[in-house]
């Protein structure tokens, strides 16, 4: 397949908070091409409800934020990376406010709330429960009109390009035309988000299929901590609707979890009850579901003021009402769903991977700030802080390297020339999601993981003949990421944070404070 060849100084794949913040920095140093599936709102950042955690309130400071983050991460966070996050976070948020981000206030002062595992009120919110969309809006508005920024929406990153051991660009698919393009760049930044869609139940949007993580793996980048997949405890459970995130702040403001026997059960699992860390709440809910033979538990907020609920959680209130649930009068059926990936492309403090020229930030990266269990609302802050740092590092790197004028690459054949049908691809995708949910979900065993791995290896072979379109390429990436998760989960022979092995429930062992790594074997 012939392709158009484009050249740019910096290539950004993804368009969430981390990508936008990096773009604003990189546009000061050269031409930036930003590639993203779908439109500017099709990213995890946009759908983030709860808020952004930052030590700005009078009762808080960066040392306390640091301690809470390390504790929630079960001592597996990188102390240097966490220090960068909490210390640089306030400046990044003040900067965003200066650019027009409108966070909620009370009596003219920023309003802070509390979430599980936070010891202080430090979570800023916008629009009640629309923090991510407001941050994306403010960053997008700042980026509009930048002459050095070229936006390529509805474009899908296919493969990273390497030359002489360096990353020098990527091949991309024009989703609307079905044609391939080659983009050469001095530095590439992956900000493609997570991979929640590999699970049957997820709070993530449809495009969270792990594309950047899979691309980096195939190019030789090291992936770290892939076994740590965070399951959000409370997503709306209705057979006729997709899972919808019910922000942890609902529990922070007083929401109560009850099983189908009307019992408040979290007191049996943790001293902080509903405000325990997410991994503990998720497993407690799962245990109650198994014990009572139920498909969900309930989140009860009916004791809170109806006016408060409507004003504080407008998106949640209106969404639940759409499904005939009035949260001011009725308990909300909830169950855990795949939510956030702590693992990803291993980076240093400046977003650099082990592959020269390749940088990563946000959920696609493993910067080390989340450890075995992310502290709620730290992710948007990570996007701001490490998006900027990765942008600065990429700009510095580009001063010493220019991509080749041309690189040899052959695109895969058109879908009509492939032997695998789109129906077969869809069947694998759906089967993968069910398999990952049942065998590589909240509760794992060596037996369940091994059976899942054998099946994914079979699918991986078949998907070498996938159609050259978004659905086929996404499915291939999903299987690739799934394999890495399983291999890391088999390697970690202990339970810690979001990784729970029912056959090895102890959190101690030889690999207690060691990090898993996955890397493509050289052929």
DSSP letters for 441-470: SSSB-HHHHHHHHHHHHHHHHHGGG--SSH
On average, the pLDDT of the chain sits at: 92
Work out the average pLDDT over 408-428. 71
* Separation CA 62–CA 83 (nearest Å): 8
pLDDT score, position 412 = 55
Indicate if the pLDDT at residue 512 is higher than 80.
no
CATH 3.50.50.60 in the chain is located at 8-228+342-398
Select which of 201, 278, 476, 492 is catalytic.
278
CATH 3.90.700.10 in the chain is located at 235-336
* Percent of the chain predicted with pLDDT > 90: 82
Strand order of the β-sheet with 112-113 is 52-53, 123-124, 112-113
* Separation CA 50–CA 153 (nearest Å): 27
Are 518 and 210 in contact by the 8 Å Cβ rule? The answer is no
* Percent of the chain predicted with pLDDT > 70: 94
240-254, 296-310, 426-440: which range is least confident on average? 240-254
Work out the average pLDDT over 44-59. 77
Q: Which fold has domain 235-336?
A: Flavocytochrome C3; Chain A, domain 1 (3.90.700)
Indicate if the pLDDT at residue 136 is higher than 80.
yes
Is CATH 3.40.50.170 the right assignment for the domain spanning 415-515? no
94-103, 128-137, 248-257, 400-409: which range is least confident on average? 400-409
pLDDT score, position 111 = 93
Q: Which fold has domain 8-228+342-398?
A: FAD/NAD(P)-binding domain (3.50.50)
Are 233 and 336 in contact by the 8 Å Cβ rule? The answer is yes
In sequence order, the β-bridge partners of residue 157 are 172
Taking CA atoms, 251 is separated from 135, 332, 406, 488, in Å, by 23, 12, 55, 32
Are 489 and 447 in contact by the 8 Å Cβ rule? The answer is no
pLDDT score, position 398 = 96
Among 161, 139, 221, 144, residue whose Cα is nearest residue 6: 161
In this structure, how many other beta carbons lie within 10 angstroms of the beta carbon of residue 206? 13
DSSP 278-342: HHHHHHHHHHHHHHTT-S-EEEE-TTS-HHHHHHH-HHHHHHHHHTT--TTTSPEEEEEEEEEES
In sequence order, the β-bridge partners of residue 258 are 264, 298
* Separation CA 234–CA 50 (nearest Å): 12
pLDDT score, position 407 = 73
Which value, to the nearest 10 degrees, does the dihedral of the CA atoms of residues 361, 363, 366, 372 take? 150
pLDDT score, position 408 = 61
Strand order of the β-sheet with 517-518 is 365-366, 344-346, 223-224, 517-518
Stronger pLDDT, 442 or 376, i.e. the higher one = 442
CATH 1.20.58.100 in the chain is located at 415-515
Q: How confident is the model at residue 416 (pLDDT cuts 50, 70, 90)?
A: very low
- 501 among known catalytic residues: no
Indicate if the pLDDT at residue 417 is higher than 90.
no
């Amino acid at each position: 397949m012939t392709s158009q060849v484009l050249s740019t100084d910096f290539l950004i794949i993804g368009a969430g908070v981390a990508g936008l913040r990096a773009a604003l920095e990189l546009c000061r140093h050269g031409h930036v091409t930003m590639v993203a599936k779908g439109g500017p709102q099709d990213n995890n950042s946009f759908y983030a409800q709860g808020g952004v955690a930052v030590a700005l309130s009078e009762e808080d400071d960066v040392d306390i934020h640091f301690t809470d983050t390390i504790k929630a991460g079960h001592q597996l966070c990188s102390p240097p990376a966490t220090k960068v996050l909490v210390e640089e976070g306030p400046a990044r948020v003040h900067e965003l406010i200066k650019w027009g981000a409108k966070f909620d206030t009370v009596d003219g002062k920023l309003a802070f709330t509390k979430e599980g595992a936070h010891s202080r009120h430090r979570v800023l919110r916008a629009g009640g429960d629309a923090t991510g969309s407001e941050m994306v809006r403010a960053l997008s508005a700042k980026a509009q009109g930048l002459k050095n920024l070229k936006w390529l929406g509805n474009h899908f990153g296919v493969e990273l390009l390497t030359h002489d051991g360096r990353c020098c660009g990527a091949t991309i698919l024009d989703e609307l035309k079905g044609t391939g393009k080659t983009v050469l760049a001095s530095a590439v930044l992956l900000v493609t988000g997570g991979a929640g869609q590999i699970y049957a139940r997820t709070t993530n949007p449809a495009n969270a299929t792990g594309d950047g993580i899979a691309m980096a793996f195939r190019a030789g980048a090291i992936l770290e901590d892939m076994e740590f997949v965070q399951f959000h405890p409370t997503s709306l459970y209705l057979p006729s609707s997709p899972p919808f995130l019910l922000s942890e702040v609902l529990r922070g403001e007083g929401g109560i979890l009850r099983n189908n026997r009307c019992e408040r059960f979290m007191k049996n699992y943790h001293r902080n009850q509903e405000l325990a860390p997410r991994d503990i709440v998720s497993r407690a809910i799962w245990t109650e579901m198994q014990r009572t033979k139920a498909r969900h538990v309930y989140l009860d907020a009916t004791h809170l003021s109806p006016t408060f609920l409507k004003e504080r959680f407008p998106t949640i209130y209106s969404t639940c009402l759409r499904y005939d649930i009035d949260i001011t009068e009725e308990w909300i059926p909830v169950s855990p769903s795949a939510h956030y990936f702590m693992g990803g492309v291993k980076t240093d403090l400046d977003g650099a991977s082990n592959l020269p020229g390749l940088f990563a930030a946000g959920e696609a990266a493993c910067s080390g700030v989340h450890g075995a269990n992310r502290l709620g609302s730290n992710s948007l802050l990570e996007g701001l802080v490490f998006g900027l740092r990765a942008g600065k590092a990429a700009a510095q790197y580009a001063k010493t390297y220019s991509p080749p004028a041309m690189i040899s690459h052959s695109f895969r054949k058109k879908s009509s020339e492939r032997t695998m049908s789109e129906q077969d691809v869809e069947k694998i995708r759906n089967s993968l999601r069910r398999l990952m949910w049942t065998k590589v979900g909240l509760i794992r065993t060596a037996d369940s993981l091994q059976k899942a791995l054998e099946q994914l290896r079979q699918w991986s072979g078949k998907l070498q003949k996938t159609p050259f379109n978004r659905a086929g390429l996404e499915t291939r990436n999903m299987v690739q990421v799934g394999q890495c998760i399983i291999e890391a989960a088999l390697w970690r022979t202990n339970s810690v944070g979001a990784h729970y092995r029912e056959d090895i429930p102890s959190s101690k062992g030889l690999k207690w404070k060691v990090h898993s790594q996955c890397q493509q074997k050289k052929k």
